[in-house]
Amino acid sequence: MADEVLITEVEGPRGTAEIFEVTRQEQRRIEVEYAVAFGGQRRAVPSLGEAHILANELTGLDDES
C-alpha cells in the first residue's frame, strides 16, 4: 500500500510541476521515494533533491538564467 503527500508545486514558464512524497510499507520496511507530475505524466525519482531538479527542468526554470 502506498501513501502520497503533495510536498510542493514548482511554477515556471512552461507550467506547474507537482512534487509528491510516496511512502510504501512492505512487511516491516518503509520505503520513501518522490514523484514529479507535469503535463499529464509522472516520473519517480529516489530523492527530494532530484525531484526539485527535474521539476525545474520540466517547468523551464533552468532556462531563466
- The DSSP symbol for 46 reads S
pTM (global) more than 0.75:
yes
Structural domain tally of the chain? Answer: 1
Q: What is the pLDDT of residues 8-62, one digit of tens each?
A: 999 999 999 999 999 999 888 999 999 999 999 999 999 999 999 999 999 998 7
Enclosing domain of residue 21 = 2-64
Query: In this structure, which amino acid lies at residue 14?
Result: R
Other C-beta atoms lying within 10 Å of the C-beta of residue 19: 21
Write the burial class of residue 6 (CB in 10 Å: 0-12 exposed, 13-18 middle, 19+ buried).
exposed
Partners of 22 in beta bridges: 4, 33
Of 45 and 2, the structure prediction assigns the larger pLDDT to 45
